[in-house]
A and B are shown apart, each in its own frame.
Chain A
């Protein structure tokens, strides 16, 4: 068992790590200003319209899909349960008023902004690296752009999302073509998941980039 700190694998500062001759993967911490859990039930259709009025966003009805509008992305994370992620704090403000509005509509709103840590994983080997810890099928035909799913990464529960838009940071054409995923894990497990990510990516060579918005 190689030590985590061998050759800097597991370090979080920006730079190139692992195999020197290639960059198969890019890793960047995912920044988001807020993440709220909206819950409703099939019995209260008001929740969907209340959410649309409150957030200006339609909650996806199909399991494991997402909707995105500007700074907000809504991810389906369970029957009548969504995670709304904001890249901009102003997009999710005034929690208590919105909680009360959803409550009045028969739903609920929970602030879980600090509960998860995320990384955006790109590069030609991004799906391969995720598949070292996760039994999901990340092939584009199965897990397309804008889809999300919950599973495990290593031994840790994780939420995966495949971006539809290419990352702004990459100028390398091979990275432009490569898929881009965001993986969210519970904050207390983040060290384990990050280590697993780095150890798995080292063989392809990876760049740790500066944090990116969700």
Chain B
């Protein structure tokens, strides 16, 4: 039973009733309703309490500009606060509740704020709560204020929905599918341009619905249907309903937010619950919202205009609606929101609402218009007079009466005279129109104030953007159609599409209209009565005056001080009224006061839409080695290394990851281990000058490297500090393979390419990143040769394949021989080989090695064991030891440097400070008494010395050594090489731990290298 629904008319589908719930009561609306229209159809006007004063509020608007009707939508993980009832499409089973009231909407304790409002004027929190002057008090007040002056409640559960992005390109992007936008899209499409037409409403057409206008001699809705059909038929036209353009960015990038699935979700629920509602099937696969990033050659803005209010006493009582919105509810949604209405307008447009009221059987008690004489000779006021509608010219509404709903208004002559009271339950209010220039302004378009229209209109724009229709101040239908048509053709032409001659401008009868009268507020009927400028933030005429008196003369300051124009509506109906009142207080022209800056988003956008698919575990990409599935199957715990997922260790049942790593490291020293090193950066270099190039980028010498051999190298930055390390192998006379650390792979490649392209373009050197081409495993341990010999087709004896040898060969796998490169190099300090095979054969090679090692105790080991082994051996890691401050000499690698040549960084590494004896040098530490090494400890001589205690160095890597049965570390220590044998302290003031450490060589195992050469 929808007691306020008209029996006929509108675009709602009466054959599809939709049940919904608001504040615990069950209602029914129709498909095509918004939550607001469905509530009004059920006679529900009171939907909210205001932000600050908790005043009862009703539905004021019919779109994104709504300041009052914000509701909490849905429950649980899908609950959403501050949803505008005026834009929320109704669906079966919709559940909403009002916000910011307790215990109920009709009786709200917080309304006491309204009575105490003299104590809490604009900016009250800046004044009152700054005392006492310690910030802690503000934190307490803030907590209370936030509770009292609240909006809705955000969901605390993870968002169960998914969102996606869509990039799109077009010749012409038309924003707004009212008559002007449709005419523009149609013209551009017929010329052959790629067009995207978007509109935030669920249907195209804007105000063409339900009106009496005629286009091209027929009904407006017939033209709308024909035009839509025509657009759909074009292959290169994309029509997007429920899609709001929220931001214009550089390079004609426009952000759109499409509500894809929300409206349909309820339909699924209704189907499954066996309700009568049978809507079109909904795909489970749709994202909830889709964020469009559109690159358009030209943009046509047909965004329409927002009606604004007039500030009179109690202009916020439920039952007060903007005239255009009221007409929309009657004509589009077939709602009768009252029985007796007063229209208060300063322009002709609201007269159309008067006719709509009349047509809906609502008595028009009076049309109150401050204008008189010739200003009332427009077509609509004349027609109103002919229809004997009671027009009170040169009059204004000064106040409204009622508790939870308007019951009467006070009307007074504009200048002097007696106040009369008119009973009514509906007020249609119109203070003129603000063109929706938000996107234009975001695109750096300049605005100008038009005195005749009393509004800000688009002026110059530095980007290809045209504003048409009401957004351009052209509210007349004929004008909107011809502007749209012309803009569409021009935009198509700019993209290289000539119009065909046959396309005519859509025609409509031009409507004459009288000039509006700028009127922002009316004198208060009683002292202290609240005349609202900004409904959402409870900002009144007196607040604006107070701000001006206190010196907030800039419109930007006014906004911050009073909160005028903040919140979900961003002052769409209030900003211009507020700044006009400020101009009045300052006695300056409105144009010189100007507007606040328009910033994206034009309308609120769900945060989840911005990450899109890049959420949860996919917040960044992951890289997987081709051996990954084996690691998973064998219980690996993974650790992130850049984007790579690398096995940390392979814990067995009941074993901790750290214990597993100890076991794995011990096994490498006693038997043989295998580790996946596919993640190492690999760069191939070819050309006649590679050796020369390497000589220039590495400290060591490369022209002596023979084919079939590899060498460890260190690269410096320009300033002599270590950049990266790795090995380089000579595969063929002019073909080299260079490896980098996992983390530095991309950086080193970029660096080398930049050198080749900008510093030494004359060198015959080509580089190709081949990290992805090769899967790699290192087989290390005293039994490594046994494993290798079983799977490769070359002689791997020490004589035939000595330390630092490289060879191409084949690995015998279960699926046949695989082309491979084998390197005898060692990171662990054991006899070790690296096997590289094409990445699609990585798993086969790994399986073959595991099978071959079964008899000699092969075990896979992870990065933790690898790290333990290299600390025992004293190998540095870029990032830990080479930390961006260390020279090669600091790290004990100075001996690698060739004196026969210079390289990048060699000159600056000669600076005295880099050669000073008090440099921090790499040393090894062992804790005394087998005490655990503290994390990230600093090294001091005397731990008991009062701060500041001179720091002699710090620990860079540390581990429990399973092979030494001791806690060991690598450290950078002042003049460290001269301190071997000293006992110092490693202290961690954070953990309050101190241990005595013995300084020694940074090598704890096989210092002579017999194992790796054996």
Beta-carbon contact of B735 and A188 below 8 Å: no
Asked whether, in the complex, the Cβ of A114 is within 8 Å of the Cβ of B766, the reply is: no
Binds B, one of A52-60, A61-69, A100-108, A164-172: A100-108
Q: Give the number of residue pairs across the A-B interface with Cβ within 8 Å.
A: 126
Closest to B839 in A: A114
Report the bound CA distance from A59 to B552 in whole Å.
68
Partner among B293, B622, B839 whose Cβ is within 8 Å of the Cβ of A115? B839
B285 and A202 form a contact (CB under 8 A) = yes
Is B613 in contact with A203, judged by CB distance below 8 angstroms? no
* Contact status B194-A139, CB under 8 Å: yes
Q: Mark B595-630, 1 if CB is under 8 A from A, else 0.
A: 000000000000000000111111011111110000
A102 and chain B: residue at smallest CB distance: B686
Given A108-B766, A192-B621, answer yes or no on A131-B167 (Cβ-Cβ < 8 Å).
yes
The distance in angstroms between the C-alpha atoms of A7 and B158, with both chains bound, is 21
Among residues 154 to 185 in chain B, which have CB atoms less than 8 Å away from a CB atom of chain A?
158-160, 162, 164-169
**CB of B838 within 8 Å of the partner chain:** yes
The verdict on B734 contacting chain A, using a C-beta distance below 8 Å, is: yes
Residue in chain B with minimal CB distance to A103: B734
> How far is the CB of B606 from the nearest CB of chain A, in Å?
14
Cα–Cα distance between A165 and B589 once the two chains are bound (Å): 67
Query: Does residue A14 face the partner (Cβ distance < 8 Å to B)?
Result: no
Q: Which of B135-143, B215-223, B767-775, B918-926 contacts A (4 or more CB under 8 A)?
A: B767-775
Does A111 contact B293, Cβ atoms closer than 8 Å?
no
* 30 A-B residue pairs with CB within 8 Å: A1-B616, A1-B618, A19-B284, A108-B686, A108-B687, A109-B686, A110-B684, A111-B773, A112-B773, A113-B773, A113-B838, A114-B772, A114-B773, A114-B774, A114-B840, A115-B770, A115-B772, A128-B166, A132-B166, A135-B295, A136-B167, A142-B169, A155-B621, A186-B772, A188-B678, A192-B621, A199-B164, A199-B613, A200-B164, A204-B285
B608 to chain A, nearest CB (A): 9
| Pair A115/B732 contact, Cβ less than 8 Å | no
Contacts of A96 in B (CB 8 A): 732
Of B617, B839, B840, most buried by chain A (CB within 10 Å of CB) is: B839
Query: Is the pair B624, A188 in contact by a Cβ cutoff of 8 Å?
Result: yes
B159 and A188 contact, CB distance less than 8 A: no
**Does A134 lie at the interface of the complex (its beta carbon under 8 Å from any beta carbon of B)?**
yes
Inside 8 A of B618's CB, which chain A residues have their CB? Answer: 1, 192, 195
Closest to A80 in B: B766
On A, residues with C-beta under 8 Å from B are: 1-2, 7, 18-19, 21, 37, 39, 96, 99-100, 103, 106-116, 128, 131-137, 139, 142, 154-156, 186-192, 195-196, 199-200, 202-205
Q: Are A107 and B766 in contact (CB under 8 A)?
A: yes
B773 touches A115 (CB 8 A): yes
Instruction: Please report the C-alpha to C-alpha distance between residue A114 and residue B838 in the assembled complex, in whole angstroms.
Output: 6
In this complex, what residue of B is CB-closest to A157?
A: B621
Chain B residues, CB < 8 A from A203: 283, 285-287
Task: Kindly state the separation between the CA atoms of A110 and B284 in the bound complex, as whole angstroms.
Answer: 46
Dominant secondary structure at the B interface? loop
CB closest residue in chain B, given A190: B624
Report the bound CA distance from A100 to B684 in whole Å: 15
Q: Does B841 contact A (CB under 8 A)?
A: yes
Contacting residues, chain B, for A191 (C-beta < 8 A):
622, 624
Residues of B within 8 A of A115 (CB): 770-773, 839
Question: Contact flags (1/0) for B551-563 with A, using CB distance below 8 Å?
Answer: 0000000000000
* A134 and B626 contacting across the interface, CB-CB below 8 Å: no
User: How far does the alpha carbon of A43 sit from the alpha carbon of B281 in the complex, in Å?
Assistant: 62
Q: Are A131 and B166 in contact (CB under 8 A)?
A: yes
Q: B774: which A residues are within 8 A, CB to CB?
A: 114
B644 CB-CB contact with A under 8 Å: yes
Check A21 against B281 for contact (C-beta < 8 Å).
Answer: yes
The one of A2, A106, A113, A189 that contacts B623, using a Cβ cutoff of 8 Å: A189
**Is A39 a contact partner of B768 (Cβ separation < 8 A)?**
yes
Residues of B within 8 A of A154 (CB): 613-614, 621
Which listed residue, B168, B236, B625, touches A188 by the CB 8 Å rule?
Answer: B625
CB pair A187–B164 under 8 Å, yes or no, is no
Q: Which chain A residue lies CB-closest to B159?
A: A1
Residue B658 at the chain A interface, CB threshold 8 Å: no
Contact of A199 among B162, B194, B772 (CB under 8 A): B162
**In the assembly, what is the distance between CA of A108 and CA of B616, in Å?**
43
> Which residue of B285, B295, B838 is within 8 Å of A19 (Cβ)?
B285
Nearest B residue (CB) for A96: B732
A1 to B614, CA, bound (A): 9
B residues near A205, Cβ cutoff 8 Å = 285
Q: How far is the CB of A107 from chain B (nearest CB, A)?
A: 7
Cα–Cα, bound, A137→B253 (Å): 13
* B719 interface contact, C-beta 8 A: no
> In the bound complex, do residue B686 and residue A110 qualify as a contact, i.e. CB atoms below 8 Å apart?
yes
Q: Is the CB of B838 within 8 A of A132?
A: no
Q: Which residues of chain A are within 8 angstroms of B165 by Cβ–Cβ distance?
A: 132-133
* Cβ–Cβ contact B735 & A155, under 8 A: no
Contact across chains for A187 and B772 when beta carbons are under 8 A apart: yes
Q: Which residues of A contact B735 (CB under 8 A)?
A: 99, 103
A187 near B686: Cβ-Cβ < 8 Å? no
Known contacts A39-B766, A99-B735, A115-B772: A1-B624 contact under CB 8 Å: no
Instruction: List B residues 678-696 near A (Cβ within 8 Å).
Output: 678, 684, 686-688
Which residue on A lies nearest to B774, using beta carbons?
A114
Whether B687 contacts A112 by the Cβ 8 Å rule is: no
The answer to whether A131 and B168 touch across the interface, beta carbons within 8 angstroms, is yes
Question: Is B80 positioned at the interface, with any CB of A under 8 Å from its CB?
Answer: no
A204 to B166, CA, bound (A): 14
Q: Is B262 an interface residue (CB 8 A)?
A: no
14 more CB-based (< 8 A) A-B contacts, given A132-B166, A154-B621: A1-B158, A39-B768, A106-B764, A108-B687, A108-B766, A110-B684, A110-B766, A113-B773, A113-B838, A115-B771, A134-B167, A139-B236, A187-B840, A191-B624
Contact present for A103 and B687 (CB under 8 Å) = yes
Nearest CB of B to A213, in Å: 16
Inter-chain contact B772/A1, CB cutoff 8 Å: no
A53 to B: closest C-beta gap in Å: 19
Whether A135 lies near B293 (C-beta < 8 A) is yes
Q: Give the chain B neighbours of A200 by CB distance below 8 A.
A: 164, 613
A19-B283 contact in complex given A131-B167, A155-B614, C-beta closer than 8 Å: yes
- Chain A residues whose CB sits within 8 angstroms of the CB of B839 once the complex forms: 114-115, 187-188
Neighbour of A99 across the interface among B169, B285, B732, B773, CB < 8 A? B732
Nearest to B283 among chain A residues (CB) is A19
Please name all residues of chain B whose beta carbon is closer than 8 Å to the beta carbon of A116 when the two chains form the complex. 772
Inter-chain contacts of A19 with B (CB < 8 A):
283-285
Report chain B residues within 8 Å CB of A136: 167
Contact between A192 and B614, CB atoms less than 8 A apart: no
Q: Tell me, in angstroms, the Cα distance from A100 to B688 when the chains sit together.
A: 11
A183 to B732, CA, bound (A): 33
Q: Do A155 and B620 touch (CB < 8 A)?
A: yes
Report how far A188 CA is from B734 CA in the complex, Å.
Answer: 28
Which among A19, A37, A187 has the highest number of chain B CB atoms within 10 Å? A187
Bound together, the chains give a CA A112 to CA B838 distance in angstroms of: 8
Chain A, Cβ-Cβ closest to B236: A139
Smallest CB-CB separation from B841: which chain A residue? A114
CB distance from B31 to the nearest CB of A (A): 21
CB distance from A17 to the nearest CB of B (A): 9
Query: Which residues in B have their C-beta under 8 angstroms from that of A99?
Result: 686, 732, 735
Are the CB atoms of B772 and A18 closer together than 8 Å? no
Q: Which of B283, B616, B625 has the most CB of A within 10 A?
A: B283
Interface centre among B293, B295, B687, B768 (most CB of A within 10 A): B768
Q: Which residues of A lie under 8 Å from residue B286 when comparing CB positions?
A: 203
**Alpha-carbon gap, A139 to B615, bound state (A):** 29
Contact A132 to B167, CB < 8 A, known contacts A106-B764, A110-B684, A188-B623: yes
Instruction: Please report the C-alpha to C-alpha distance between residue A82 and residue B617 in the assembled complex, in whole angstroms.
Output: 35
Residues of B with C-beta under 8 A to A108: 686-687, 766, 768
A103 to B164, CA, bound (A): 47
* Chain B residue nearest to A18 in the complex (CB): B285
In the bound assembly, the distance between CA atoms of A72 and B154 in angstroms comes to 57
Chain A residues within an 8 Å CB radius of B287: 203
Using CB atoms, name the residue of chain A closest to B734.
Answer: A103
